[in-house]
Amino acid sequence: MKSSFFKYIFIFILFVSLIPANAQTVGIRDTVLMGSRFKITLVDIDAISVEKNINKAIDEMVRIENLISDWKPTSQVSRINQNAGIQPVKVDQEVIDLTKRALYFSNITEGAFDISFAAMDKIWKFDGSMEEIPTSLAIQKAIEKIGYQHIIINEEASTIFLEKPGMKIGFGSTGKGYAADKARELMLQLGINAGIIDASGDITTWGNQPNGEPWKIGITHPFRKYKYAEILTFKNAAVTTSGDYEKFVMIDGERYSHIINPKTGMPSTGLTGVTVIGPNAEMCNGFSTSIMVLGEEKGLAFINQQEEYAALLITDKGKIIRSKRYKKIKKKLK
C-alpha cells in the first residue's frame, strides 16, 4: 500500500491548446491538499466564473480532506483510529461508503489492498532518514495491527469500529481519487462542461479543451528519461498511476520500494509502475495500488476481470504490458 505522502506519480497533462475559443476562458490553479499538489483546470464562460468555480472545487476537496485525512486529529477517520480497540465511532454515511469500497478491494484482492495498512506508517521511512531496514520483529508487530477483517461497520448505527488496539485506517490510496471525482461531479452540476482535476496524479477529465480537442495525458517511462510510455487521449475518463521509480530507499545496495505488501510488511517487487484507466479515479487508484502489490501475473488476471477498467504495467525490467481490454477501453474513453 502507499501513503498519501509517498505516492509519486508520473502523469503529465499535455495541453494541445489553451487558446480560448467561442468566448471560453481557461482557469488553472495549483494548490496543496491532503499533503500533495493538486491542479484544477476549468473551462468556463469568463474569468470571474472560472475563479469562482475553482474556489468551489477546492472547497469540496477541502471538505473531504477534513473528513478523511488521518493526519488531521479532528477528522472522523482520526477519531476512528483514536478509538481503535475501545469503541465504535459514529461517522457520516460518506465515510462508511468510502470504507465499504476500500473493503471491496481488500476482499477481491484477498488483502493485497488494505486500508488498515496505515498501522505500518512508522516502520518504513522514505524521507531520507532511513539507514537500515526494519527488524523482523518490528515488521511482525506492525503486521499484527493490520487486518481489514477487523474493520467493523454498523450501518444501522452509522459507526465504524477497529477491533484491535493500535489499528489505523487511512485513505492514502483512494482518498485523492475520490476527492477528484467529487470535484468533477460538483463542477458538472454547476454547468462546467470541461476540465481536469489532477489530484497529485489521480486525474479525472471531462469535456474538451477550448479548441475542441480532447485532453491528452502522457505517462512517463521510468527507464527512458523524457520519454512517454503512453499518451492517452481522453474526454470523460480517469487515470491513475502507482509507481516506485522515484520514491524508494537504498540500503546496502538494495532498492526498496515505498509500496508495501500489507501481508508481508515488505516492499512490493516485480513491477515499477501501473497505470489504470476507467471512468472513476477512486476505483482506478484502488486497482493500480492492488496490481503493484499483486505483481504481474496475478495483477493482470485481476484487472482482466474488470469490465470498465484496464491497465498498463511496466515491469522492473522495463517491459510494457497491457491488459486484454486496454485498447478497447482506451478507445471508449476518448
Numbered residues of the known binding site for Mg(2+)? 173, 289
Separation between Cα atoms, residue 41 and residue 29, nearest integer Å? 7
Residue 122 φ/ψ, nearest 5 degrees = -105, 0
What whole-number distance in Å separates Cα of residue 266 and Cα of residue 270?
A: 13
C-alpha cell at 42: 476549468
- Among 228, 244, 224, residue whose Cα is nearest residue 291: 244
240 closest CA partner among 232, 249, 248: 232
User: Please, which residues have CB within 8 angstroms of residue 28's CB and are 6 or more apart in sequence?
Assistant: 18, 39, 40, 41
Separation of alpha carbons 111 and 117, rounded Å: 10
Phi-psi region of 44 (alpha: psi -120 to 50; beta: other; left: phi over 0): beta
Binding residues: 173, 289
* CA 223/CA 288 separation, integer angstroms: 19
184 is written with which cell numbers? 468533477
CB 141 within 8 A of CB 119: no
Query: Could you give the CA distance from residue 204 to residue 234 in angstroms, rounded to a whole number?
Result: 9
- Three-class SS of residue 4? helix
Distance CA 47, CA 24 (A): 9
Is 231 exposed, middle or buried, given 0-12, 13-18 or 19+ CB atoms closer than 10 A?
exposed
Distance CA 160, CA 136 (A): 31
